[in-house]
C-alpha cells in the first residue's frame, strides 16, 4: 500500500469514528430526577426554565411528573418502554398562573385529575361539577403542592366540567 492510500484510509477511519460520536444522539429518559429535568429542559418552551420537581407518580406503565417551571405549575407524562425506560410523550403548563388543573392522560388511560399549585397560589379550595357530580379539593395556600382526584365514572369516557368555584386563603369565594 502506498502512502497516499494509507493516509486516505486513516483519514476515512478518523472521519467515520468522529462522525459516529458527533452524530450519535443520546436518548433521554425519565428514569430519575436528574434525567427528568434534562428531558424537560430539552423541550423548547422549557429550555431556559428553572425546574423544581414536586412529585413523580407511576400509574401502570405511565409516569406523571408534576413540576414547577419558573415557579409555574406544569407536568410531563412518560410511558415505560419494553426495556423499562420512560420515554416522554406529553408536557403541559397553563398560562403562567400559580394554580393549574390537568388531565394528565391525553388518551384518557388515567382516570384522574391533577392539581398543581405553586407557592404563589392563595387558593385554599376548589369546587367543580364533573359530569354533574360535585368534586371538592383543598389546598394549603402559598405552598407548592400536588393533588390527585379520581374522575367519576363516564359511560363514553367524556367529561363535562361546570360551576367552578375557587376559595382564597380566608375561605372566601374568589371572583
Residue 91's H or E segment, with its range, is strand 86-93
Q: What are phi and psi of 6, to 5 degrees?
A: -65, -45
pLDDT of 105 > 80? The answer is: no
**pLDDT tens figures, 31-47:** 999 999 999 999 988 99
In the numeric block, the cell 419494553 is attached to 82
Strand 145-150 and strand 112-117: the pairing is: antiparallel
The reported pTM is 0.81
Average pLDDT value over all residues in the chain: 86
Amino acid at each position: 500500500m502506498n502512502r497516499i492510500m494509507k493516509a486516505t484510509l486513516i483519514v476515512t477511519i478518523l472521519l467515520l469514528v468522529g462522525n459516529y460520536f458527533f452524530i450519535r444522539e443520546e436518548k433521554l429518559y425519565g428514569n430519575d430526577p436528574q434525567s427528568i429535568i434534562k428531558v424537560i429542559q430539552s423541550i423548547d418552551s422549557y429550555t431556559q426554565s428553572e425546574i423544581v420537581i414536586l412529585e413523580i407518580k407511576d400509574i401502570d406503565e405511565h409516569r406523571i411528573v408534576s413540576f414547577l417551571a419558573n415557579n409555574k405549575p406544569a407536568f410531563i407524562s412518560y410511558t415505560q418502554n419494553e426495556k423499562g425506560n420512560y420515554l416522554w410523550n406529553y408536557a403541559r403548563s397553563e398560562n403562567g398562573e400559580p394554580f393549574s388543573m390537568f388531565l394528565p392522560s391525553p388518551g384518557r388511560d388515567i382516570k384522574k385529575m391533577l392539581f398543581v399549585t405553586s407557592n404563589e397560589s392563595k387558593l385554599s379550595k376548589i369546587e367543580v361539577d364533573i359530569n354533574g357530580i360535585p368534586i371538592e379539593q383543598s389546598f394549603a395556600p402559598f405552598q407548592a403542592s400536588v393533588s390527585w382526584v379520581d374522575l367519576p365514572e363516564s359511560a363514553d369516557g367524556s367529561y363535562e366540567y361546570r360551576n367552578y368555584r375557587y376559595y382564597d386563603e380566608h375561605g372566601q369565594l374568589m371572583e
